[in-house]
Amino acid sequence: MPMVLLVDADPDNSLRLQKAFEAGGYEVSVATSGEDALSMVKKRRPDLIITQAMMEDMYGSEVCSMVRADPTTKEVMLVLMVDRASQMAHAATRTDADIVLPENSPPATVVTRVDIQVRLRGLPSAAPPRAPVQEAARKPPETGAAATLQGSLAVMDLTEVAQAISIGRKTGRLVLSLPAGEGLMLFESGRVVHAEFGKQTGEGAFSALVMASHRDRGGHFSFIPIETQEAPHLPKTITKDLETLLLNVAVEMDESEKGMKS
């Protein structure tokens, strides 16, 4: 089972998270300071670390940077919990953390977000992914094949799903059911090679899907692996890497917001 290291000086908060992760099939250890966490990382080699933004001895972002800088622990998944209202939240997006979450997130939401990342990265399996109650009744789109991973886009952002698939170098179909309609992204060894949304294909469809998911939060995703021998036969309508695609979408969204304000 995946091993989680919780870094939190608040015993009540860490206990709530510990119970939620243990119920989800994880092995859990707790550190009460940054120094304690770094010592435990070397001894226990956790699969992922969840740290609060601030401890008495260091910032959570410092813990993330030190873990990532060590060649023996650089692959550990890092989750940083931040105060949504503080400037730290903005700074946290530029740390080495894989996921940044508000520190007041319900424990079940934290576990769900981590579950999805764990599966996309191919780490040892935990409990089946959980969807929020309001999404649970919604069925995933018919895909014609068994989905190995599915979840709610109200819990995990489409951008994060795409990035996790990219990091895991997965090959397969990401089938999307958004409030605005059905969509599809194809990945080959972690690279986006094709997208469809409405009448659009290629980069235009990719941008439209990301923007639609940001505009109307909600919907469902299912990731269906494709056999390696099938990959050469996938349609190829996108050549840019994921980072460039997401940067272009961000610029497009900024320009759209400026246009609405003017």
Say how far apart CA 123 and CA 140 lie, in whole Å.
Answer: 23
3-state secondary structure of 100: strand
Specify whether the CB–CB gap between 122 and 91 falls below 8 A.
no
- Domains of the chain, each with CATH number or no CATH: 3-120 (3.40.50.2300), 133-261 (no CATH)
Residue type, 183: G
- The DSSP code for 10 is -
- Averaged confidence pLDDT in the chain: 82
* Mean pLDDT score, 42-53: 92
Q: Which of 72-81, 96-105, 129-138, 244-253 has the lowest mean pLDDT?
A: 129-138
CA distance 46 to 63: 14
pLDDT in tens, 57-74: 998 889 999 999 999 999
Strands 77-82, 99-102: parallel, antiparallel or unpaired by DSSP? Answer: parallel
Handedness of CA 240, 89, 161, 5 (dihedral sign): positive
Report the C-alpha gap between 3 and 26 in whole angstroms: 6
- The Cα-based distances of 249 to 186, 245, 256 in angstroms read 18, 6, 10
pLDDT of res. 155: 78
Lowest mean pLDDT among 81-90, 144-153, 164-173, 190-199: 81-90
Rg (C-alpha) for the chain, rounded Å, is 19
Tell me the pTM: 0.60
pLDDT digits (tens, 9 = 90+) for 223-241: 999 887 777 888 999 999 9
208 pLDDT more than 50? yes
